[in-house]
Copies of this chain bind each other. A is one copy, B any other.
Amino acid sequence: MNIYRYEENPLITPLDVVPYHDGYEVIGAFNGGVAKYGDETLLLLRVAEKPIAEHENEVVAPYFNVKEQKLERVSFDKNDPTYNFDDPRMIRHKDNLGGFIYLTSISYIRIARSKDGHNFTLDKEPFLYPFNEYQTFGIEDARVMQMEDTYYITFSAVSECGVADALVTTKDFKTYDYKGNIFAPENKDVLLFPEKINDKYYALHRPSAKNIGELDIWLASSPDLVNWGDHKRLIGVRQNSYDDGRVGGGCTPIKTEAGWLILYHGATKKHRYVMGAALLDLNDPSVVLKRTTEPFLEPVAEYEKNGFFGDVVFACGTVQEGDTLKMYYGVADTSMAGCEMKISDLLHHLERTSCLTK
């Protein structure tokens, strides 16, 4: 299908972002949630800042000290055999490579604003910065759902307690109300449906289980967007597919005549991230009507293939204008890109390649 990648891509790179912390470098400005606010397009960027090591063999991990309300750092020696430093994103114990102890950067949410959707200006201050014990390792991958004049922002809260999902609401993108962790660990990629369906709110979420279960997308329902129940597995990983490693919701679900259009990321076991689509029943989002067997967006451009963690396209939001969908997406865990497509094209692509094997 036709995808028009913006000529200005990547739209925002780490070089465009002045670090908020002394002694840190910005290594990522990516995975931005998207909001239309007044006449502006806002990207709620995940900015990742990494402490600058003092010597070649030092690996530094930042964390937010809640009591002191300041960012601190822990130093590791690259040659310390207790730890594994192979994944540049994290510090792992050598005996537990399936988990991590610290991250090597701290993420928070900073807003980039644009009148034309192509050229963005960054705020100087963070919008969402760690403020409690569930966010000591950072705030990641915000998604925005708008209902009337209120914006509902979900994000991953990362700490030694686990990775939970929190909710804040705002009307002005300056101040916000904290609604707590709405999904318990371990969970990521929470997407709120933008309206009630048969008197219930719905969300997609992506649990990560310790003992059994894949990295699948689940559906939950709620009376109030804050309290969630009736958890059901919705979109699972598929063997021998582009999404055999993990799946996770990407953009706020889009209402079409054919059903709820879900744009999700799928990754292989080797961590190549692409974008797939699914269509859910308008009146019962627990019914998957269609699902792509071929991704509609794959990392092919240089900025998608190379970066801090390459071969990643990871969309967190869209702006819809009639049949045109402007999708903004993180690339290579480093920068932000944008593209445009027709919703009708996406629906044709779904029609043509659909397969419902879970």
Contacts and interface: CB of A to CB of B under 8 A. Distances in A.
Nearest to A232: B181
A305 to B, nearest CB: 25
Interface stretch (A63-71, A215-223, A259-267): A215-223
Given A207-B186, A226-B229, A227-B228, A212 B99 contact: yes
B100 A98 contact: no
B227 A205 contact: no
Contacts of A182: 229-231
Interface stretch (A156-164, A292-300, A332-340): A156-164
Given A209-B162, A209-B208, A211-B98, A229 B230 contact: no
Contact of A229 (B160, B162, B163, B180): B180
Nearest to A162: B213
Given A99-B210, A180-B231, 17 more contacts: A99-B212, A134-B233, A159-B212, A163-B209, A181-B229, A181-B231, A182-B229, A183-B184, A183-B231, A184-B205, A185-B207, A186-B207, A186-B209, A186-B213, A210-B210, A223-B224, A227-B227
A101 interface: yes
Contacts of A233: 133-134, 161-162
Contacts of A228: 227-229
A214 to B, nearest CB: 8
A212 B180 contact: no
Interface of A: 98-101, 133-134, 158-164, 179-187, 205, 207-213, 216, 218, 220-224, 226-233
12 contacts: A100-B212, A158-B212, A159-B212, A160-B213, A180-B229, A181-B230, A182-B230, A184-B187, A185-B207, A185-B231, A186-B207, A226-B230
B230 A180 contact: yes
A232 B184 CA distance: 8
Given A163-B211, A184-B183, A210-B98, A222 B216 contact: no
B163 A220 contact: no
Contacts of A160: 212-213
Nearest to A228: B227
